[in-house]
Amino acid sequence: MLEGTAKEIQGQTGNPVFPCSADIRDPEAVHEALNSIEKEIGLPTLLVNNAAGNFISPAERISPKGWKTIIDIVLNGTAYVTLDVGKRLIQAQKGSGNLFLI
């Protein structure tokens, strides 16, 4: 599925797209995925960080474990990816030192 989407985006934009998946709740998995991306197509200069772990469920059916998973994906995952990419940009002197988590 990722490969097909990557080809479609690349075809429409002419820009290289490298499909890569990782459990963004795991900072080491994020780091390794970004290593793969950087090796394959170079340092990202644009990050669209749209991490989400949403599902429709009545409140009484959401367990503490389910809630923790959502929070780990949405908050921690977003931070892990943004911080890792930001640090790489700063190290390459392509970043300003300002990281914005939106």
User: Tell me: the pLDDT tens digits for 34-82?
Assistant: 999 999 989 987 787 777 877 788 889 999 998 899 899 999 999 999 9
Range of the domain at 76: 2-91
Count of domains in the chain? 1
Q: Is residue 98 part of a domain?
A: no
Q: Is residue 100 part of a domain?
A: no
Q: Is residue 29 part of a domain?
A: yes
Q: Is residue 79 part of a domain?
A: yes
In this structure, which amino acid lies at residue 82? Answer: T
Is the predicted pLDDT of residue 98 greater than 90, yes or no?
no
Rounded to 5°, the CA angle 75-95-23 comes to 30
> H helices within 1-102, ranges in order?
2-13, 27-41, 64-71, 78-91
Whether this prediction's pTM lies above 0.85 is answered by: no
